[in-house]
Amino acid sequence: MPNTYTQIHIHLIFAVKFRKSQIQPSWKERLHQYLTGMIQANKHKVLQIESMPDHIHILFGMRPDQSLSSLIQNVKTESSKWINANKLSSSKFHWQDGFGAFSYSKSQLPQVIRYIQNQEEHHSKKTFNEEYKSILDAFDLEWDEKYIFHELL
């Protein structure tokens, strides 16, 4: 798109279905590479990616010629297929419905990158749900408990 100039940075968060701890250390780097490749194939730029066994954080620069929802749907669908086809998980793998996407200015990127890099440290102090709710609150978003990522009961 000629004469179109943007600077859109998105911190994306989504979870494994029922928050099952399926992302294993033995293959999480391969998953990160696959997701990075998918996002970059859509002409966006991954700046940082990190996962915990039950969820993932991705910070990327987004181009304006694709909707966020279509990108995320494609990334989640294709990565689930890839995980299952490669038999990386001991049980059928699915991402949970929904996602969180939060925009940041360029000056905030170093802080967001550090935050994503330090997920293990954060989760030694806070659960994923506590973390996610605090992000929603920090962005002053109204949310409903019934739509927060749930564990299998």
Whether pTM exceeds 0.75: yes
| pLDDT one-digit tens code per residue, 52-74 | 999 999 999 999 999 999 999 99
> Does the pLDDT of residue 153 top 60, yes or no?
no
Pick the more confident residue, 99 or 4: 99
Neighbours of 98 (CB within 10 A): 13
> What is the dihedral angle through the alpha carbons of 135, 139, 144, 146, rounded to the nearest 10 degrees?
-30
| CB neighbour burial string for 52-78, b if at least 16 within 10 angstroms, e if fewer | bebbbbbbbbbeeeeeeeebbeebbee
Tens of pLDDT along 102-125?
Answer: 999 999 999 999 999 998 888 888
pLDDT at 31: 98
Name all domains of the chain by residue range, CATH numbers in brackets.
8-147 (3.30.70.1290)
